[in-house]
Structure 1
Amino acid sequence: MKILYFYPDNPLSSTQGNNARASALLHYFKSRAISIDLVGCKSVDYAESDAATIVEHKLADNVFLLKKHKTKFYQISYFFKESLPNFFLNRIKQFRRAKLNHQVEFNEILKNNSYDYIIISYSCWASLVKNNSQLKNAKLVIDTHDFLTSQFQTTKKFKLGRFFQKEIELLCLFDIVIAISVEENYIYSQFLKSRIEIIPHTLTDNCISKTEKKEYDIIYVASDNPHNRNGINWFLEKVFPLLNREIKICIIGKITHCIADYPNVEKNKFVNDLNQYYSNSKLAICPMFTGTGLKIKVVEAMSFGIPVVCNERGIDGLYNKTDNGSLVTNNPEKFAHFIHKLIEDREYYDEISNQSEKYFKRNHHIDVVYGKLDSIFN
């Protein structure tokens, strides 16, 4: 079996949830000895050296990086072939991430190879395969990652009906639609005739001894996006002042660019081994009021059997909304109370920690998720 897997970003960047999901899928293919051609977009964070590392680790047979062309000739061609048609046809640019040069290079890959499956990440890149004559009867699969209509609702000229209709139209191009959460599955199943599969994020079982002394009381891992910025600002402004001064917090990821210095708060833009930080943390937080899809940081914490304190959006995507190792509130005083109780009450901590461990093993363990993927890829 040979698969082309398009994922635009660097799957080796572990401090961003969507990259962790892409990496997990590559590890699944490796475990099943499936031949993979990985296609991404070249950027500052995704260079040829990263592509070489992916091949070296045998996560893909080949890695193709689509490039940006900024030549004067390309700009003229783009104006007549993309900009003008987009304007006159009133296209939604948010759902057209693939530019002219991306399409040309992607088509060349398809022309020179034959695939059993072609997997596209995100509906906004679906145009890569739309009306494409080079598919050669490959079965089309889309890993949605997120319900993009909701993500785009703050953009200029957003109209719910128009954006939602476009997203469903693009998803209809695919034989199999992979949803990451139960909420997305519910929405898509109302409008699509394609086969829909819920494939949650998976990790190895990292549960460790609960008696082990931890270096950090709280860990928070996040990329830099509006949802995470709003969430962490709320936490630092509303919750942090209510916490005991001796509580030590570790924040990891590009979100650190947006955070000022605070006492007992350690900031790390990038770490080589994220697992080491989770295993040295007592609990995790996920302050978030907007956004859709499964929160990878929540599942990562659960894989270590550590409790999560979060807002209501933090449990989006989970099969169970209770008894899952998460303590949920939008109230800052109660948020701080949950943190203090977990740190100070050992019996209560063990109860929530056990819930976290059991929920993870039941829904996100590799054996469970790999079984679901096997049903898709034979």
Structure 2
Amino acid sequence: MTKRILFFFPENPFSNRAGNTTRAKTTLTVLKKMGYHIDLVGSAEIYKSQNDTTDIDKSIVDQLFLINHRPPKVKTSSDYWKHKISKFYKKPNEYNHLLTDFAKKEFINILNKEKYDAIIINYEFWAGLIDNESMKNTLKIVDTHDWITLNEFYKNKSLDIGKRFNEEINNLSKFDKVITISEDEHLVFKRFLGEKVINIPPSFTSHFEKNNTGKKYDLIFVGSENIFNIQSMKWFFDHVYPLLPQNIHIIIIGRICKHFQEREGVKLVEYAENLEEYYHQSKIAICPMLEGTGIKIKVIEALSYGLPVVGTERAIDGFPAKTSNGCLVTDNPDLFKDQIMSLLQDESSYQDMKIQVENYFKNNFSEEKAIEKWKNILH
């Protein structure tokens, strides 16, 4: 009999919007390839705020459910009055205002309609969805995506780190298995939560290409419009771009394009349905990240196409190995430029780096590796 998984991810994983949605989609793909029946649950408010459609890939997900954080404004409804009255005596969730009692009730109602073998919750701050006795015999898994305390600290330096990290560990402790995607975070959480913490790095199907001739772009960057990406590309344009020769061709893809103007040698593509053609048309991926936590999905995706990566030290956060990984890293703009130019001008060095990329990707980020790890958790 086919086993069933209830998979909660707040936004549409098929939106192709950013690294987090790509991560969720690749996880769903792996689980489907393992033969699971998967129902997807999202947050109605987040779908609305992101202008997400309810279109899903039916070859991967069987059904989509959306939960609301509050009931409809129907004054004859008991749910409406319970929610309204609760606001007078119950504080909203400090770290996730959408995680209300009503949202939890909607999630439980979905769970109780079917028999699920496992529940997978994406993000620690949605852990409250499993606070119900009816789930005690179901395997509960959280995919952390990130070290949330550190991520929030980067955005808010006045954050009470001790309080927030205590909340994070308490939330993670509710689960039977805790999935990290970064080796750095795996080491941190394992100290507090023990063997239930398992590292499953992001995985992709490989798209290696032997032909390196006729490439349209020298450099490619793919990114959403989060603050870390914006800071990173501003640093690149302020400090590295002026050092590069004028005949360099750069393509930037994603919503980050809203924050930059086209300039000589730079093409902006705000949305691409499929990144494959752009990666195959490019020689090198760049990742000049200055802040941010966790493994960089964009880096692994670039490696899956056999592209060498030139980045800052933050580009390889979470990697098991800091060298011989297909990436050249430096925080110095002059050296950043030199690394780009050495790959573009020395074909032998470029080909050696491509071999390194392919070997490192196969050994760490292939779908086969991810399936093997998920089998150990679910079987």
Superposition deviation, residue 261 in structure 1: 2.4
Q: In 2, are the aligned partners of 1:114 and 1:136 still within 8 Å (CA)? A: no
Going from structure 1 to structure 2, the CA distance change for 1:49 and 1:95 (only over 3 Å counts) comes to closer
Going from structure 1 to structure 2, the CA distance change for 1:355 and 1:63 (only over 3 Å counts) comes to same
Structure 1 alignment gaps of length 5 or more:
none
Superposition deviation, residue 266 in structure 1: 1.0
Going from structure 1 to structure 2, the CA distance change for 1:37 and 1:241 (only over 3 Å counts) comes to same
CA RMSD in angstroms comes to 2.0
Number of the residue aligned with 1:312: 313
Corresponding position: 1:242 with 2:243: yes
Number of the residue aligned with 2:196: 195
Query: Between the two proteins, what is the percent identity of the paired residues?
Result: 36
CA distance, structure 2, for counterparts of residue 211 and residue 329 of structure 1: 25
CA distance, structure 2, for counterparts of residue 311 and residue 221 of structure 1: 15
CA distance, structure 2, for counterparts of residue 213 and residue 68 of structure 1: 52
TM-score, normalised relative to structure 2: 0.92
Read off the aligned partner of 2:180 and give its amino acid letter.
A
- Farther off after superposition, 191-200 or 235-244: 191-200
Deviation track 1:112-158 (CA, whole Å, cap 9, x = no partner) reads 1221110000001111112x133251111000000000011133751
Superposition deviation, residue 69 in structure 1: 4.7
Corresponding position: 1:351 with 2:356: no
Instruction: Count the aligned residue pairs.
Output: 369
Number of the residue aligned with 1:158: 159
Which among 41, 47, 52 is matched to residue 39 of structure 1?
A: 41
* SS of match in other structure, 1:267: strand
Read off the aligned partner of 1:3 and give its amino acid letter.
I
Read off the aligned partner of 1:283 and give its amino acid letter.
I
Number of the residue aligned with 2:375: 374
Read off the aligned partner of 2:164 and give its amino acid letter.
F
Going from structure 1 to structure 2, the CA distance change for 1:249 and 1:70 (only over 3 Å counts) comes to farther
Superposition deviation, residue 181 in structure 1: 0.9
TM-score, normalised relative to structure 1: 0.92
The residue correspondences of 1:132-281 to structure 2 (distance < 5 A) are 132-135=132-135, 137-153=137-153, 154-155=155-156, 158-193=159-194, 195-281=196-282
Read off the aligned partner of 1:169 and give its amino acid letter.
N
CA distance, structure 2, for counterparts of residue 362 and residue 193 of structure 1: 25
Going from structure 1 to structure 2, the CA distance change for 1:369 and 1:247 (only over 3 Å counts) comes to same
* SS of match in other structure, 1:228: helix
Read off the aligned partner of 1:212 and give its amino acid letter.
T
CA distance, structure 2, for counterparts of residue 102 and residue 68 of structure 1: 5
Read off the aligned partner of 1:186 and give its amino acid letter.
L
Structure 2 alignment gaps of length 5 or more:
none
The residue correspondences of 1:56-67 to structure 2 (distance < 5 A) are 58-67=59-68
Q: In 1, are the aligned partners of 2:11 and 2:52 still within 8 Å (CA)? A: no
* SS of match in other structure, 1:86: coil
Number of the residue aligned with 1:363: 364
Superposition deviation, residue 110 in structure 1: 1.6
Corresponding position: 1:81 with 2:83: no
* SS of match in other structure, 1:190: helix
CA distance, structure 2, for counterparts of residue 360 and residue 120 of structure 1: 27
Deviation track 1:194-213 (CA, whole Å, cap 9, x = no partner) reads 51111011111111014332
CA distance, structure 2, for counterparts of residue 375 and residue 317 of structure 1: 22
Q: In 1, are the aligned partners of 2:71 and 2:83 still within 8 Å (CA)? A: no
CA distance, structure 1, for counterparts of residue 9 and residue 303 of structure 2: 25
Going from structure 1 to structure 2, the CA distance change for 1:128 and 1:216 (only over 3 Å counts) comes to same
